[in-house]
Structure 1
Amino acid sequence: MQLSVIVIGDELLLGQVTDTNSGEIARHIAPYGWEVNDVQAVGDEAEEIRRAIDRAFELSDVIITTGGLGPTKDDITKGVLRDYFGGELVEDPAVLENVKQVVSSKGFRLNDLTAAQAIVPTSCRVIQNRVGTAPIMWFERDGKVLVAMPGVPFETREMFQSEVFPQLREKYRTNVDIEHAVLMVTNYTESGLAEYIAAWEEALPPHLHLAYLPKPGLIRLRIDGAHPDKAFITEEVRRAAAELHEMLGDAVIATDDLTPAQILLKECGRLGLTLASAESCTGGNIAHELTLIPGSSEVFVGSVVSYSNEVKMNLLGVGAKTLEENGAVSLPVVREMAEGVLRATGAKVAVATSGIAGPGGGSEEKPVGTVCIAAALLTPEGMTLCEAETYHFAGTRSRIIESSTTRALIKAIKLLRTI
């Protein structure tokens, strides 16, 4: 099943806001055999919105619009949809009550503009927005559906996953069963991985499909299968995943659709180990990735962001001589940082980073993108195992920080897999 997405708002065309809603929708529906076949971005202009809807209905039976449903004058989507599908704009008591509850739960007072969110076209069926004030509107014509959703990414993600998409799946039922498997792969570039498994991929039967979903330092391979026979396609996907896993060996760090932070926390939890980070160039981003995950406090104990040499020495115990002889961006320094944060926090596992994220600060010997990363483990016998390596990442400052974060987490995962 295919659907089209229309993202609405002048701020999108001006570059003031980046569209993330279409990507969220596409990622959520893919495992169910649905796909986004068209994305349009239009401004807050009635004729543009109408033309976009006409075009989308030529391509798809389902349209999701996001944006333009706010209480201000520039949010015109509701009126355009009333004109397009017919009916009148009337106040819906159930919507008004929902708006009141949402506003009250956030500690605000209801004003006239926000109360006007309860005015909706009679041609739509309302899905109450539990997390925002803009009601979700479901329109139907000639067997086709348009669902108008708010532009706030959190609201769209929450309500699309919990309410809108389940109702779309119920309406457009299919007798085809969808199965999928995921392998998280490291140590390959996307092109290098594709070349290595090319013969295997070319031999896949038509009911199986392989997708590459790369991020810095990590590639998510997803095997999708579709067939009316559930038992058959389940076994086919399992068999293909097992073959691919055997081919890639230790490059596969997980067979679940998890982030490196989730994998590391899961591995530490399995072994009953606590975790800490010592960060220089990543500036706390490793700790941020870990603490985004619910339940991380059961494993992660803390972080030292040691941006300056003084903090490296005073809080982590990095030797002044080590810094003087090797420089802050060096393997001896990150080893001492990792071992130091183990002592400082009492954790059993640690990662440490020190590098040059740019755009300045590089040299011929250590250019921008040079990052030293260490992972350390305190064994039950009281010995410290520490592995460190120098990496050279490309891209912007934020890209280098992201790559360094991912590589540090993966390095710790691989160290734990050795015990």
Structure 2
Amino acid sequence: MNLTATIVTIGDEILIGQIVNTNATYLSKELDSLGFKINEVVSVADTQEAIRNVLSRVNGTADLILLTGGLGPTKDDVTKKVFCDFFNDELVQNPEVLMHVTMLLENYYKRPISEVNKLQALVPSKAIVLKNRVGTAPGMLMKSGNTFFVCMPGVPYEMETIFQEELVPFVKENLVKEYNIHRTIMTYGVGESLLAEFLQEWEDGLPNDVSLAYLPSPGSVRLRLSVHGTDYDLLEKKIQDLVDLLPNEVLKYVVSFQDEGIDKNIAKQLLNLQKSISFAESFTGGVLTQLFASVPGASAYFNGGVVTYATQSKIDVLGIDETLICKEGVVSEAVAIEMARNAKRLFKSDFAVATTGNAGPTKGDLNVPLGTVFIGIATPEVVFAKEFNLGQPREKVVQEAVSKGLLMVYEEMLKNK
């Protein structure tokens, strides 16, 4: 039987969309890896009433209730008081926390501790204190019946530190260890419905305790196999045996047996081949470049990228012949080919990807339909481009063009193995 958990994130900034709720995403993934089934994720306002109501509602509904946010020293941070009142406890000064806050302020921030900062050392008298090595607000753990309640700060790096260094050891020691095993198979270049058709017989033969999910996104579909139990090695073997039975019609579209995008597989191929890549982008606005530039160690295979959005920049930066643009149009096979060829030359790379198109939402002065894009590929042997009509809206066009460009260059790399 699954251990269960509920995540409560506190803060008006989440409710009004001012920030993305990354804490909920992080905790969901980490709890899943520890064997928990997530009952719900809920966000509430920075008010005593909202926090009190959610504590009362979720009490007893899960093995573990995690709260983040509202533990600062200012008047709008009310979580700790409500948490303490919920357990009919009182706040007391914790000497270890006070010493830590004092040292942190004096050694790192170079200022003496204030009366406001001292409030951080107040914790419920019956709580287990979870040390916050990188901040001033400690985590707190208390129990109601069979439910453990944990309060942590909302600052992501502080919450993550407390979770990993303090809470994970506690969970492993005090709660029954169970496992959620997932295996994600990344496919590219095949639609969800056709994939389901190829997998029908295989899917019909799945054991009752194994579930399959289709997770489509532009240009790709992730297949996620999941199983839960107490014997880790047995669960892993069960999943692997099923993966080994995947039909050949599906395997030809598989780029990875891990939950990672095709860009990571391209990076691996480039490292294996000891080759490099570069990009020349127009309507994709640097999305391809950012995918590769954001990875530590990318300098081993990523030479550079350029966003030549305006027609004149394609002429001035990439050296595209103005006569060619006038004859063929800026959104054309010929221009995409020259963009890829010249990016490869400019950055002295082995492979290059180029994008030019009319992503919308208005046609402007372009002479091609909305959604028309050309993707150019340059390899050590050939340079070519393909035309696609990706429809609308603009975001969809950009996402699908990026996926198609990555798939095209990945397929060319496989020919160079």
With structure 2 as the length reference, what TM-score do the two structures score?
A: 0.88
> Offset at 1:158?
5.1
Q: Superposition RMSD on alpha carbons, in Å?
A: 2.8
Equivalent in the alignment of 1:150: 153
Equivalent in the alignment of 2:388: 391
1:331 partner amino acid: E
Quote the Cα distance in structure 2 between the aligned partners of 1:395 and 1:32: 41
1:198 aligns with 2:200: yes
CA contact (8 A) 1:4 1:62 kept: yes
Equivalent in the alignment of 2:119: 116
Equivalent in the alignment of 1:218: 220
Equivalent in the alignment of 2:70: 68
Q: CA distance change for structure 1 residues 244 and 272 in 2, over 3 Å: closer, same or farther?
A: same
Q: CA distance change for structure 1 residues 161 and 273 in 2, over 3 Å: closer, same or farther?
A: farther
Partner SS, residue 154 of structure 2: coil
2:399 partner amino acid: E
Partner SS, residue 318 of structure 1: coil
Q: Which moved more, 1:215-224 or 1:90-99?
A: 90-99
1:301 aligns with 2:300: no
Percent identity reads 33
> Offset at 1:344?
0.7
Equivalent in the alignment of 1:409: 406
Quote the Cα distance in structure 1 between the aligned partners of 2:260 and 2:289: 17
1:152 partner amino acid: V
Partner SS, residue 246 of structure 2: helix
> Offset at 1:191?
4.3
> Offset at 1:97?
4.4
With structure 1 as the length reference, what TM-score do the two structures score?
A: 0.88
Quote the Cα distance in structure 2 between the aligned partners of 1:68 and 1:280: 44
1:137 aligns with 2:140: yes
Q: CA distance change for structure 1 residues 291 and 91 in 2, over 3 Å: closer, same or farther?
A: farther
Mark the runs of 5 or more structure 1 residues left unpaired by the alignment: none
CA contact (8 A) 1:95 1:135 kept: yes
Quote the Cα distance in structure 1 between the aligned partners of 2:363 and 2:344: 29
- Deviation string for 1:102-141 (max 9, x for gaps)? 6678767566344532322223222223444332222222
CA contact (8 A) 1:89 1:119 kept: yes
> Offset at 1:3?
0.8
Quote the Cα distance in structure 2 between the aligned partners of 1:353 and 1:359: 17
CA contact (8 A) 1:187 1:251 kept: yes
Mark the runs of 5 or more structure 2 residues left unpaired by the alignment: none
Partner SS, residue 258 of structure 2: coil
- Deviation string for 1:61-95 (max 9, x for gaps)? 11111222223211211111011123322333433
> Offset at 1:248?
0.7
Quote the Cα distance in structure 2 between the aligned partners of 1:235 and 1:267: 28
Quote the Cα distance in structure 1 between the aligned partners of 2:349 and 2:107: 39
Quote the Cα distance in structure 1 between the aligned partners of 2:393 and 2:385: 24
Partner SS, residue 209 of structure 1: strand
Partner SS, residue 222 of structure 1: strand
CA contact (8 A) 1:102 1:130 kept: no
Q: CA distance change for structure 1 residues 196 and 82 in 2, over 3 Å: closer, same or farther?
A: same
Quote the Cα distance in structure 1 between the aligned partners of 2:131 and 2:237: 40
1:41 aligns with 2:43: yes
- Number of aligned residue pairs: give it: 413
Quote the Cα distance in structure 2 between the aligned partners of 1:258 and 1:6: 28
Q: CA distance change for structure 1 residues 114 and 411 in 2, over 3 Å: closer, same or farther?
A: farther
> Offset at 1:388?
2.6
Q: CA distance change for structure 1 residues 107 and 193 in 2, over 3 Å: closer, same or farther?
A: farther
